[in-house]
Structure 1
Amino acid sequence: MKVKLFMSSVAICAMMPANSSQGVVARGLQQEPCNIADFAEPYGVLDFFDAAAFLQAFANMDESADLVHDGAFNSFDLLAFMRAFSKGCD
């Protein structure tokens, strides 16, 4: 059996295989991003993986990286990401 465990001050989750009779154990798991900088799971935690996911989306000109919704990928999107990231999650 494989167990995947995420731990932080916000999210703790242990996942069991779908065919396991033990099911899923979850406590305090946030299903939605906490702000526009929360690009990667586990949601509710801002870390390196959020920054890497944003930079990849920005480099690929993915619409999810257009954080100021002006149709352009520029320094305003980078600044919006940095502001949201520095605020952290509640």
Structure 2
Amino acid sequence: MPTSNDLGNISRLSLRPLITCSCTICGADFEKAEGSRREVCSFQCKAERSRRYSRKYQADGRRVLAEFRSRFDGRDPTDEEILQLLDK
């Protein structure tokens, strides 16, 4: 087993065992350190994942806003009305 002096400046995180996973965007197999939260294989897939997430987030926001407006006859609710909804 190498000592820390033999490894120089290598982080302890890089010594974790590698596992093979599938990319959530393109399905390609890639290796990541065990315990890593990485879900994609490349920068291109990371950008695509970000684009998909932001579109979903924006669509959810538009849906919630439409529901709010439908509850208040097409107008934006006041701060007091929003607080009343949150208290329920």
What is the TM-score of this pair, normalised by structure 2? 0.23
Structure with greater contact order relative to length (CA < 8 Å, sep ≥ 6): 1
Specify which structure has the higher proportion of helix. Answer: 2
What is the TM-score of this pair, normalised by structure 1? 0.22
For the pair shown, the structure with the greater C-alpha radius of gyration is: 2
